[in-house]
Structure 1
């Protein structure tokens, strides 16, 4: 149970966001958020976030070609493609299957695809991370997932699907915001913002300790680094970045 100060500040924040809570109660907010607000917000946030993490991503994805299959092809699956901000980091000629639970990113996604003609786009699937049944088991060389595990309904279920679709020796790449240290003020404010943030930003959870889920998943090797990405005015500074091998 959160401490009284957290509950009080949560209530204050809820009062400020009362119009959104009311729209949610009336069943209006969620469709509006999925179709209009969240695609617009994510594109703007991605632009800011990319400036902060570009070098980190370049370093992260540098060894993607190492996971090219014996056939000479590199088959990638991206979970939660969104606006396609990762496309520029993928090796030339690789084959990419894009997935997202929200199909309303067409405009921004099309712009990213037109700017990144060095890769081959195989298909786009409307699918949740926990249910990738349209992708055959052991059929991809690498799975990419950035700023997505915060909002999936079942983190462990998503990681099980990742392991299923990866071929033996394939890799899972991730960059996610996570819970701050529980003794810190950052964590305190994450707890305060949690309910309203989750409502406003399409189910995004602020206090997930995702490194624990990765440690518990059945990867043969895991390389994870805790980093801080300065995003003023937001509670999502703590991140983890790395990759895991099946």
Structure 2
């Protein structure tokens, strides 16, 4: 995939971080899920996904820490966040929640500063829409996961080709990604996810009321149970 990430000025990164921190106060119970979802609200979905995790949990692009309140307190949480202006908000949110076993690192999802086969669970919520290279990011996730490790994701994806929603997404993309830190509303993440080497992928699709970032997919991808070694 050709890189299209633009250099975002610091003032815009700072403003975006402030906005994300304010969004932490949003009641996810008010975000209704429509369609075939097993859950009625975003809060129910996140509670089902995140409250029973254990071990080493790596979250890519955690923003200002919107997911921290859903994690159990005994995990070893590692966050890799490329926007340095997010970090103070993340630390404040972790302190507010009493989470002390955390590591916060500056870096990108395309080159994770994490050892091979060392992570129990990787989490991504509304991040794959904005990375420079989705396939490379997913390959990195496969690399750092332990055998049988899980990748949990909640992502908005492109609407079906030919629909009015897809036409809107395609038309607004140039402006949208400039305002919202490289977010692509028309990215076909699901198709890429199915072609990077996970042993199994299970996800459901649902819609939100705001069509630009709808539909969504949410699910789990699992790494192979045995590490495959390559021999020359």
Q: Same fold (TM over 0.5)?
A: yes
Q: Does 1:167 align with 2:156?
A: no
Supply the distance in 2 between the matched residues of 1:106 and 1:128 (Cα, whole angstroms).
14
Q: 1:242 aligns with which of 209, 219, 222?
A: 219
Change (3 A) 1:238 1:58: same
Q: In 1, distance between residues paired with 2:150 and 2:44?
A: 20
Runs of 5+ unmatched residues, structure 1: 1-23, 66-73
CA distance in 1, matches of 2:70, 2:157: 23
Instruction: Output one character per residue of 1:37-60: Cα deviation in whole Å (capped at 9) or x when no partner.
Output: 211232344544734211111122
Partner of 2:167: 188
Per the TM alignment, residue 118 of structure 1 is displaced from its structure 2 partner at its CA by: 4.7
Q: 1:221 to 1:167 in 2, by over 3 A?
A: same
Q: Is the 8 A contact 2:110 2:131 kept in 1?
A: yes
**Alignment partner of 1:79 out of 60, 64, 84:** 60
* The one of 116, 125, 131 aligned to 2:111: 131
The equivalent position to 1:224 in structure 2, one of 178, 184, 203, is: 203
- Aligned to 2:9, what secondary structure does the other structure show? helix
Aligned Cα RMSD in Å?
2.0
Q: Compute the displacement of 1:107 (Å).
A: 3.4
In the TM superposition, residue 164 of structure 1 has moved relative to its aligned partner by: 0.6
Displacement, 1:143?
A: 0.5
2:96 matched to which residue of 1?
A: 115
Cα offset, 1:110, TM superposition: 2.4
More helix as a share of residues: 1
Contact preservation (8 Å) 1:211, 1:224: no
Alignment of 1:32-111 (within 5 A): 32-34=11-13, 36-48=14-26, 50-51=28-29, 52=31, 53-65=42-54, 74-111=55-92
Range that drifts further, 36-45 or 138-147 = 36-45
For the 8 Å contact 2:125–2:154, the answer to whether it is kept is yes
Deviations 1:178-209 (A, max 9, x none): 11122221111111111001111111111111
SS for the counterpart of 2:212 is coil
Unaligned runs of 5+ in 2: 1-5, 32-41, 224-232
Query: How many residues align structurally?
Result: 207
Contact 1:181–1:187 (CA under 8 A) maintained in structure 2: yes
Query: TM-score under structure 2 normalisation?
Result: 0.82
